[in-house]
Structures are given as structure tokens and as C-alpha cells.
Amino acid sequence: MTRLTVLALVFTLASQADTLRLRDGSTVTGDFLGGTAEDIRFSVDGQIQHFARSNVVEIVFRNGAPDVPAANSEPDWVVRGPDYTDAPFLRGASGYIPLEREVATPARAGGMYGMGGTVYRVQGARSPVRVRQGDRIVFVVRLSRGDARQFQLFRLDSRMGYRQTQSSMGGMPAGLPLTINRVGDSVYEITPARPLNPGEYAVSPANSNESYCFGVDY
């Protein structure tokens, strides 16, 4: 294999990776694994690395499956997407339903000697936006930039006066699995990969503290 061919192969593989651009001007290529209000997780050469969000300028996602339009015959209003960009909406029978928008704040969970892991809290013990367990839950977002894979779905524990992510000593718990399909120009459907149990939930983009909340009832 010639040197030119090897270089072309390396360039092709690198172009298929996600890219993290840092404030010092450097970049990191790998696979985006998720993030919290403080931490971005990246897999680099098979190793999980953590980057402080304050040091991250931008995440550029590789072109992949979410950029391939789904083979379906969606109605025009679905293909056009919501009027507002970069915010997920629930897809209703004939339109979009706004989710409850809150800003999550980090807090220390309980535990022995107050040394529990970090959790993220939003105000109110229960979201006013409700769906039923048997409903087909689909979120639709129209993006102005970035990639739909930046959105994560979290289960929230309901407490007196607030909801919070489930505690994990290793940091933020992993988001619930999602399926992402492109349905229009920069318009994506985001669907839970498995049925959601009754409780409180939030959809949150990796690059923001914004939390779009809803609840599931029996």
C-alpha cells in the first residue's frame, strides 16, 4: 500500500469521527458518548476521556445514520418541523406539543456523609406535560446547527418540590437509549428505543443546561 493511499485512508477514517473543539484551539477526534452540565465524555482510541464543558467550544458530529432521511410518507407539517429551532417538541396527532422547559442546576446527592454523586435538579415535583404509558412517544426537533444525537433522555426522581437525575457515583448516569430518524431538512424524530415506565423524564441537549420535561402516567 502506497504512502498516499495510507494517508487517504487515515483522512477518511478521521473524517468519520466526531470532533471536539477546545478553547485553546486544539481539537480531539473520537466518538461522543454524552455529557452533563459540567462534563463531556469522548471515546478516543478506545479510551474514555472527560473534558470540562467550560473548555469546550463546539462539538462537530460526523455524518452518519441520523442524516439519512427515513423512508416514509410523513405529512407536510412533520417534514417542515416545529416553528422554533433547537428545542424538542412532542409530536401530537395533528401538531406539536411544547414540553416544559426548565434549566437544570447541579447539586450534591445524599449518601453517607453527604458524599453522594452529582445530580441535576429542576423545579417542581411533577411536570404539567403528561402522556400515557401506552402512547407512542415521539419528539421532533428542527436544528439550526449541530446533530440530533446531542439530545439525551433521562429518568428523573420526583422529590418534594423538585425533580432530579438519578444519582451515580461515577458522574451523570447514561441517558436512556434513543432512536433518531431524519424526516426533513434539519428535522429529526427522536423516539425512546423502549417503552417508558410511568414517572418523570427530561430531554436535554449535551451542550446546554436546558431540560425539556414531561411525565408518563399509567
pLDDT (tens digit per residue) in 79-115? 788 989 999 999 988 889 999 999 999 887 765 455 5
- Model confidence band, residue 74 (pLDDT cutoffs 50, 70, 90): low
Pairing type for strands 139-142 and 187-192 reads antiparallel
pLDDT tens-place string over residues 162-171:
999 987 655 5
- pLDDT tens for each residue of 28-68: 888 777 665 566 777 888 777 888 877 877 777 665 444 44
Predicted confidence at residue 8, as pLDDT, reads 37
The pLDDT, as a whole number, for residue 44 is 85
* Three cell numbers, residue 57: 467550544
> Domain locations in the chain?
3-60, 65-217
Phi, psi dihedrals of residue 19, rounded to the nearest 5°:
-125, 130
Residue, of 191 and 9, whose pLDDT is higher: 191
- Nearest Cα neighbor of 176 from 146, 156, 160 is 156
Q: Which residue has the higher pLDDT, 188 or 94?
A: 188
According to the model, what pLDDT value does residue 22 have? 85
Q: What is the pLDDT of residue 214?
A: 96
Residues 7-40, buried b or exposed e (16+ Cβ, 10 A)? eeeeeeeeeebbbbeeeeeeebbbebbbbbbebb
Instruction: Say how many C-beta atoms besides its own lie within 10 A of residue 149's C-beta.
Output: 20
Domain at 3-60: CATH code: 2.30.30.100
Asked if residue 193 has pLDDT above 80, the reply is: yes
- So what's the pLDDT on residue 97? 92
**Range from 11-15, 17-21, 158-162 carrying the lowest mean pLDDT:** 11-15
Amino acid at 115: M
Containing 158, the helix (H) or strand (E) segment is strand 151-159
Mapping DSSP onto H, E and C, the string for 12-71 reads HHHHCCEEEEECCCCEEEEEEEEECCCEEEEEECCEEEEEEHHHEEEEECCCCHHHCECC
Structure confidence at residue 178 (pLDDT): 93
**pLDDT at residue number 36:** 59
For residue range 121-178, list pLDDT tens digits in order.
999 999 999 999 989 999 999 999 888 999 999 999 998 899 999 876 555 667 899 9
Give the pLDDT mean for 179-198.
Answer: 91
188: buried, middle or exposed (CB in 10 Å: 19+, 13-18, 0-12)? buried
pLDDT at 31: 78
Looking at the predicted structure, is the pLDDT value of residue 208 above 50? yes
